[in-house]
Amino acid sequence: MVFFRRWQPVKALSFDLDDTLYDNGPHIARAEAWMLAHLRSEYLAGAMLDAERWHACKRQVLLEDPALHHDVSLARRVSLGRALREGGMDGASAERAAAEVFAGFLAERSAIAVSASTHTLLAALARRYPLVAITNGNLDLARAGLDGYFRTVYKAGAGTLMKPAPDMFVAAARDLGLAPAEILHVGDHERSDVLGARRQGYRVAWLNDGQGDWRRLSQLPDLMLNRLEELGPLLLGHEWAPS
């Protein structure tokens, strides 16, 4: 752990989800593979849809409607519908199929592996502090086994802009009834988490388990973590007793 600013106690914590509480990459890759295999096996209109065609379809959808960059769920459903229509399915059937495939994808991407140490840490922190989650993603927290720790989960989409935009940070501070400086945001992303939270006056713990260079940051966090579990002694003191 490295401190960049003098430490002051906080009254609440906000957590990023993907790649902060778990390694998200393998789960997304597995869910994408399931989605393409399902489309090819279950729908004639998806029989020729390989990864290259799928990514081209997504790029075109985002090019035509840039607002979808802020809603990963809607962007995927729109892209699925478009891919199926391009494969010859009629519009109404494509929308129904897109909803079905998206539900399956979400279940697959939410079947994540969260370490026992992370569960222990979150449970201990939740007994002392109000915890909220602030995410650009679409994880189903109940399916992932993470829903019991957070008072509120803020997700981008439906008019709420992705981090580093202020929307979710402002909403969380307002709902917690705290000044931003009384909240510690914990996240891995240099722009979405560090820059986004610092701009709104949050305290920031940057999870740098990939050994990134802090000198590249446009704004410094309050502290840099090598492991998430380092929050335990800092925030819980003698109460921290990891299993």
- pLDDT value of position 77: 96
| Gyration radius (Cα) of the chain, Å | 20
**Four-CA torsion 110, 115, 116, 121, nearest 10 degrees:** -90
CA distance 138 to 185: 19
Instruction: Report pLDDT digits (tens) over 8-28.
Output: 999 999 999 999 999 999 999
The CATH architecture of the domain made up of 2-22+114-239 is 3-Layer(aba) Sandwich (3.40)
Q: In terms of pTM, does the model score above 0.85?
A: yes
Tell me the sheet residues that pair with 223: 3, 205
- Reported as half-sphere exposure (CB side, CA atoms, 13 A), residue 141 has a value of 21
At 116, the pLDDT band (50, 70, 90 cuts) reads: very high
Please, what sign has the CA dihedral across residues 65, 67, 68, 73?
A: negative
Closest CA to 12 of 134, 140, 132: 132
Domain boundaries, given as residue ranges, for the chain: 2-22+114-239, 26-109
> Which pairing describes strands 223-225 and 203-207: parallel, antiparallel, or unpaired?
parallel
Active site residues: 16
CATH topology of domain 26-109: Four Helix Bundle (Hemerythrin (Met), subunit A) (1.20.120)
- pLDDT value of position 139: 96
